[in-house]
Structure 1
């Protein structure tokens, strides 16, 4: 989620500067006739759009890190859709005052609504990108939206199950069709991180010593099973290494 906030925030800032330097990027304005353009305060509009988009981008980035730093993870992860929707709504309403054409309601909103559409599609697309698993000697990492890196030494138990515990509610995550990513309240485990790509079993449950649970599965059954086997092997090697160190100290 951190990378997505940075990308979208920087994208908004970049678009803001482009709109100011190249006003014809504003959809609707670039298709107006010469007479219609004369009825638009393009200097004021482009400045307003620049400032507004930059403010949205900065708010997304700073808001995310600020609320994450003080421990409000739910609010931090809500900054992107919240700031975007509120900010774009304000831009749409306030931008109207720069256009004196009679049919302005359909002219100056194309660009802004297009941005919203792109962001929504981008967010959904990012959510559907399958998580990739990356192994190292000391950890296992799952990439993508709501990805996580788990240290092998912190894993208390890992197992494969055929049934996913009943989901009571989504507390902070992405859910679209069979794809579920983020934090969900499960009937059996409570708050857990899900990285689910398919409704077909098996499901890999990783339990940490502090009780935190991460549940993963992939579209291909073989990938889920091989991930389980690899994690089991890493845990066994880690335990053997700790035992060897303890024995040598004795």
Structure 2
């Protein structure tokens, strides 16, 4: 995850320098869809100075925050890496609206964008909270059930083979699941092309479920 944090941080810093007054009408989201009369209502030079400072600070603070939190808890560090930029963009949208001398409709659009970002943050935060909990295994007379996010049920009649192993298969990619912090859950693709289900807490010795 440290590599992902570095890449994300560098991307934000570079983004701050990517947009200039000369190319803003092509690259700046929202601004590139405006008419010339609406663009004239924006102090684009001042806004881009704010835009650059914001992204430089976001990139640096994201890496520092992730590095500090990761020393204590890798789960919270992963959640921070995803949620912090979303919440930061809520501030950017709110602060950026001050550079536009527009209509009440524009202010309403700003509130809508902010609300969407907040809702997305809450939804992603809830997903992280659910994913970073140990799965529970229940053995019933006719089935085995793994409860929790990406849980599953296996009927007794469907079990044709099982083996106890002290190692994981070589994983090439995640098919449909969650991998972050100490947890890996869901469907993963092995190097030899198989799709396997894994329920792993890296801090607690456990067995993979095939």
In which range does the TM-score fall when normalised by the shorter chain? 0.5 to 0.7
For each residue in 1:189-215, what CA deviation from the matched residue of structure 2 results, as whole angstroms up to 9, or x when unmatched? xxx7434316x997678999x952363
For each residue in 1:74-126, what CA deviation from the matched residue of structure 2 results, as whole angstroms up to 9, or x when unmatched? 3211222221121000001110010102243488899x88xx7xxx9xx9xxx
Partner of 1:93: 94
- Answer whether contact 2:78 2:180 (CA < 8 A) is retained: no
> What is the aligned counterpart of 1:52 among 51, 54, 57?
54
TM-score between both structures, scaled by the size of structure 1: 0.48
Please give the alpha-carbon distance, in whole angstroms, between the structure 1 residues aligned to 2:77 and 2:200: 25
Partner of 2:208: 215
**What does residue range 26-175 of structure 1 map to in structure 2 within 5 Å?**
26-69=28-71, 71-102=72-103, 103-105=105-107, 165-167=146-148
- The Cα RMSD (Å) is 4.4
Partner of 2:18: 18
Distance 1:34-1:58 versus aligned 2 partners, 3 A rule: same
Distance 1:14-1:163 versus aligned 2 partners, 3 A rule: farther
The structure that has the greater radius of gyration is 1
Gaps of 5+ in 2: 125-142, 152-173, 189-193
Please give the alpha-carbon distance, in whole angstroms, between the structure 1 residues aligned to 2:201 and 2:102: 62
TM-score between both structures, scaled by the size of structure 2: 0.55
- Answer whether contact 2:183 2:200 (CA < 8 A) is retained: no
SS in 1 for 2:33: coil
Partner of 2:5: 5
Distance 1:26-1:214 versus aligned 2 partners, 3 A rule: farther
Q: How many residues align?
A: 155
SS in 2 for 1:100: coil
- Answer whether contact 1:206 1:213 (CA < 8 A) is retained: yes
Gaps of 5+ in 1: 124-161, 171-175, 184-191, 218-250
